[in-house]
């Protein structure tokens, strides 16, 4: 599983790395973290279709989801920039908007909350979803079909069992590139009628050297897979599964200090390699 990860790259670099068209206004509250823990706010990347009528009229469409009755609803749109535009855009935004699709960054609570849950603070924390059962479990199947996302990360932590206690490892790209975890998102309706956006990271069986540390690993999307994974027009769950049902790229694992085991310890020191 993946129960801790890092997310310290600045928003402007995330925007460039993932070719984002806009950032939700709530993203301004995101802070760099070297110890992201379950139930904390995390950035997620989604794509959504804009109806041509709204596009032509300059209307501001928003990220959509569904409540337990399947009724579509909307959430606040992205921020206006200083020039009055509805979102901060990259150089490719014009071409993407021509196709009525935009790619956005939003903030979600880490741990998918099913729409039928009575209280998100109770029950299991669904921070991970196993690829092997995604299409069969009612908690994840609707999101696999309709609500897929990318969770940008700099790396993640796993603990290896050893004499004297578990040894933390920091696992990251071999070339310091951002990782793109395959994720799912969902909406949970609060008692006051507002909506909570939540997300989970999809995992698969670890292989090679990583399997000696832990038996599971997050699925890391490649750049060529971003568009097909996020495509809002693609609603077949098995087609979505086919995109991610393959081995991960090679990742590097470094032994790091045990302080990362306490979520109160949140500094760059958490990812500095140490010798055991």
Question: Would you say residue 193 lies in a domain?
Answer: yes
User: Quick one: pLDDT at residue 270?
Assistant: 98
Number of neighbouring beta carbons within 10 Å of residue 52: 9
Query: What gap in Å lies between CA 255 and CA 251, rounded to an integer?
Result: 13
pLDDT per position as a tens digit, 16-73? 999 999 999 999 999 999 999 999 999 999 999 887 654 444 433 345 443 333 323 3
Question: Would you say residue 121 lies in a domain?
Answer: yes
Statement: residue 121 has pLDDT above 90: no
Question: Would you say residue 156 lies in a domain?
Answer: yes
164-168 mean pLDDT: 92
Contact between 56 and 136 under an 8 Å Cβ cutoff? The reply is no
DSSP annotation of 254 reads E
Question: Would you say residue 86 lies in a domain?
Answer: no
pLDDT per position as a tens digit, 196-250? 999 999 999 999 999 999 999 999 999 999 999 999 999 999 999 999 999 999 9
Give the side-chain half-sphere CA count within 13 A for 233: 9
Q: What is the CATH number of the domain that holds 142?
A: 3.90.1680.10
Q: Nearest to residue 168, comparing CAs of 201, 213, 128?
A: 213
Specify the number of domains making up the chain.
1
Query: What gap in Å lies between CA 182 and CA 14, rounded to an integer?
Result: 16
Contact between 93 and 20 under an 8 Å Cβ cutoff? The reply is no
Statement: residue 258 has pLDDT above 80: yes
pLDDT exceeding 90 applies to what percent of the chain? 75
Question: Would you say residue 220 lies in a domain?
Answer: yes
Give SS3 for 141: helix
Print the domain residue range for 128.
Answer: 4-18+31-41+108-271
């Amino acid at each position: 599983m993946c129960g801790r990860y890092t997310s310290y790259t600045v928003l402007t670099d995330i925007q460039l790395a993932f070719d984002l068209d806009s950032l939700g206004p709530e993203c301004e509250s995101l802070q760099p973290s070297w110890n992201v823990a379950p139930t904390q706010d995390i950035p997620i990347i989604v794509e959504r279709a804009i109806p041509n009528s709204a596009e032509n009229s300059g209307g501001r469409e928003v990220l959509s989801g569904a409540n337990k009755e399947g009724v579509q609803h909307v959430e606040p749109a992205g921020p206006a920039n200083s020039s009055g535009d509805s979102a901060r855009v990259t150089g490719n935004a014009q071409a993407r908007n021509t196709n009525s699709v935009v790619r956005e960054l939003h903030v979600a609570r880490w741990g998918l909350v099913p729409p039928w849950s009575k209280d998100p603070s109770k029950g299991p924390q669904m921070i991970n979803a196993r690829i092997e059962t995604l299409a069969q479990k009612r908690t994840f199947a609707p999101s696999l079909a309709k609500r897929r996302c990318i969770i940008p990360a700099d790396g993640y932590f796993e603990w290896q069992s050893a004499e004297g206690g578990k040894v933390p490892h920091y696992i990251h790209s071999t070339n310091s590139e951002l990782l793109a975890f395959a994720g799912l998102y969902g909406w949970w309706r609060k008692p006051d009628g507002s909506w909570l956006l939540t997300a989970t990271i999809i995992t698969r069986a670890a292989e090679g050297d990583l399997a000696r540390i832990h038996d599971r690993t997050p699925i890391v999307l490649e750049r060529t897979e971003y568009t097909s994974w996020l495509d809002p027009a693609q609603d077949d769950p098995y087609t979505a599964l086919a995109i991610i049902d393959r081995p991960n790229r090679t990742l590097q694992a470094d032994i790091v200090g045990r302080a990362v085991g306490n979520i109160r310890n949140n500094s760059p020191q958490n990812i500095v390699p140490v010798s055991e």
